[in-house]
Structure 1
């Protein structure tokens, strides 16, 4: 009876986290695709303007700002899809429970690192705000753009934490919250 209650609680936790994760994924996808689309529109408009003799001077500045946004907000999205850079040569040497422990350790360590980097980045954002730095052409406060750095790092940390929770709470080995490790034979046979 106690085991059934624990399993129901774990299933409820996983389903709740999955719903929250899907909502966050949609927001990130809209933001990232909108930023990429904005870069494309800006560059096409600038090329057309240049050919007509009227270049858009703010295009380069906005592109740099959008690159910062895409780079750091993409951290969480890449981690969610297990498309982040990872050293799989070592992980492929482990199977079963040892692979699971290794992935939990890696996910928790990466989450802690990303949260720490987000903390330091937030300190930098606050310093930038106090200085009052703005962009050259559009006079956008730089701290508003740099906010993408701690937010993106924090979202990445959340994804790695979710992956660790998934590995702790459920059978199998997961590279991300919803991405099972297909290299692990034990996962397919249900032995973990």
Structure 2
């Protein structure tokens, strides 16, 4: 499991670095040399999609989603646990739908043979971020739910 965590974080970190460098170089190139690199904006857009969906899974692992802080802080320990279980179940249901419809979108795009305009990437590779992020989220939510059921609390700080 620690390899999955490392891969998620390195992948998102690398994409953030590449997006920042690409954006910086493109801005400098456009402002100083009046030249715009083809595909930079498209690469940034597609990278942001992956950052969002893989980042969603990282947030579920670290407990940074759907916190309803006012309600959580006012509840007693047992009720907090039940509320967190309810939130996890609802999130799991949503992620299952996201996987199903994400796979449908990937298959449609794969069968249509669409490619992106500038980078000429097969569009199913871009849409693949949806089911991959949702599957990783299901994994992390399930682990947190099992921990919650066994230990009655989750330590999101343990790595």
Kindly indicate whether structure 1 or structure 2 has the higher relative contact order, using CA contacts under 8 Å at least 6 residues apart: 2
**Structure 2: how far apart are the matches of 1:68 and 1:96?**
37
Q: Which runs of 5+ in 2 are unaligned?
A: none
The aligned residue for residue 44 of structure 2 is 63
The aligned residue for residue 149 of structure 1 is 130
Q: Which runs of 5+ in 1 are unaligned?
A: 1-19, 181-192
The aligned residue for residue 113 of structure 1 is 94
Alignment map for 1:1-192 (pairs within 5 Å): 20=1, 22-50=2-30, 51-171=32-152, 173-174=153-154, 178-179=155-156
Displacement after TM superposition at 1:64 (Å): 0.6
Q: Do the aligned residues in 2 keep the contact of 1:46 with 1:56 (CA within 8 Å)?
A: yes
Displacement after TM superposition at 1:139 (Å): 0.9
**Structure 2: how far apart are the matches of 1:56 and 1:69?**
21
Q: TM-score, normalised by structure 1?
A: 0.75
Q: Do the aligned residues in 1 keep the contact of 2:88 with 2:145 (CA within 8 Å)?
A: yes
Moved more, 147-156 or 45-54: 45-54
Number of residue equivalences? 156
4+ runs of 1 displaced by more than 6 Å? none
Q: Root-mean-square deviation (CA), in Å?
A: 1.6
Q: TM-score, normalised by structure 2?
A: 0.90
Of the two, which has the highest radius of gyration?
1
Q: Do the aligned residues in 2 keep the contact of 1:28 with 1:77 (CA within 8 Å)?
A: yes
Displacement after TM superposition at 1:166 (Å): 0.5
